[in-house]
Amino acid sequence: MIVLGIETSCDETSCALIDDDLRILSNAIYSQLEHEEYGGIVPEVASRQQIRKIIPIYRQSMETAGLSLDDINAIAVTCAPGLIGSLLVGVNFAKGLAFSTGKPIIGINHIEGHICSNYLEHHDLKPPFVSLVISGGHTMLVLVEDYCKYGVLGRSRDEAAGEAYDKVAKLLGLGYPGGAKIDRLAKEGDPEFYKFPRANVRGDPFAFSFSGLKTAVALYLKDKPDTFIEKHLHDICASFQSALIDAITVRCLLALNETGLDRLAVAGGVAANSALRSSLGKAAESGGFDVCFPSLELCTDNGAMVAAAGLERLKRGESSDLTLDASAQTSLAT
């Protein structure tokens, strides 16, 4: 079986092909750079670019794999959550392919796609395990009870980790997107330079909260002259990142302890962060559990992860129909 995966939930346009051995035959990705001048994602710009890029990216994916539409057995497409305009481009494109060919179509939750990204490279990864899904729009701990069966242990009560990175980067004048820039600068800074707060949510030990951390950085910078910020930029980045990564690591360890599981799978755009990889890697060594990350290409939104999720759903006889619609918000389905 060969599955086409289509991902257009935000500002990446991606089409990929995988087979039923979870081999990636192609994974074409277009990442929009147009949003840098606006300091963040502009939904209207994102959807217009999705319209422009979906067909060229689809063709690139097919050509790279050396396959035709006749070779495809099924079509998986992200249908939620995300920017509604962007989602509609992918969903309607997938429905058009399904209608014209009679191929089965299946709608995929974007979060499930990220979770399944690790199946593509860690073939020994099998449920049950704990997954940390961490990106610009989502930060949550998920108990993966079985294939396609999930329980959300905790999520951010306010901002996602990636969003906090972007907003702090803006405060520091680093521009958008901010995560990779802060991570790079923090490598040369002192994480003990200033102790920013690590927030806890009363009564919900698995919940994340990063809004207060962002506000603490803003208040710290408020009366600092530009010369001070410029001189200590690396240290401020390192101190902010240390607070954020500490909060994430603590909750991951708690989730593993509470569930009694010994495998943690990290996914999403922030999974590419070097400090997060280092912190969880050290915790795994000392704590006696395994941790796995996708390759950097599979951390970002991509069609291969959607195809992997679609393959698991199709193995269980699940599919959608041509009434499939996009949704900006939805819970992680089981």
Domain boundaries, the chain: 2-116+300-315, 127-293
Q: Give mean pLDDT, residues 70-93.
A: 97
280 secondary structure, DSSP code:
H
pLDDT at 333: 64
Q: Give mean pLDDT, residues 254-274.
A: 97
pLDDT at 34: 82
Residue 72 to residue 4: CA distance in whole angstroms: 7
Residue 233 to residue 186: CA distance in whole angstroms: 8
pLDDT at 330: 86
Pairing of strands 105-109, 74-80: parallel
Q: Confirm if 241 and 276 have CB atoms less than 8 A apart.
A: no
pLDDT at 334: 57
Residue 291 has pLDDT above 80, yes or no: yes
Residue 260 has pLDDT above 60, yes or no: yes
Q: Confirm if 9 and 2 have CB atoms less than 8 A apart.
A: no
pLDDT at 137: 87
Mean pLDDT score of the chain? 96
In percent, how much of the chain has pLDDT > 70? Answer: 99
Residue 253 has pLDDT above 70, yes or no: yes
pLDDT in tens, 123-164: 999 999 999 999 988 999 999 999 999 999 999 999 999 999
Domain 2-116+300-315, architecture per CATH: 2-Layer Sandwich (3.30)
Give the pair of three-digit tokens for residue 318: 């699940």
pLDDT at 54: 98
> Which residue, 123, 18, 7, 97, is CA-closest to 57?
7
Among 24-38, 57-71, 184-198, 215-229, the least confident range: 24-38
> Which residue, 142, 110, 107, 140, is CA-closest to 127?
142
Q: Would you say the CATH fold of 127-293 matches that of 2-116+300-315?
A: yes
User: How far does Cα 301 stand from its chain's mean position?
Assistant: 6
- The amino acid sitting at 186 is A
Tell me the CB-side half-sphere exposure of residue 65, using CA atoms within 13 A: 27
Exposure string of 104-117, with b = 16+ CB inside 10 Å and e = fewer, is bbbbbbbbbbbbbb
pLDDT in tens, 184-232: 999 999 999 999 999 888 889 999 999 999 999 999 999 999 999 999 9
Residue 138 has φ and ψ, to the nearest 5°, of -145, 140
Residue 131 to residue 142: CA distance in whole angstroms: 5
Domain 127-293, architecture per CATH: 2-Layer Sandwich (3.30)
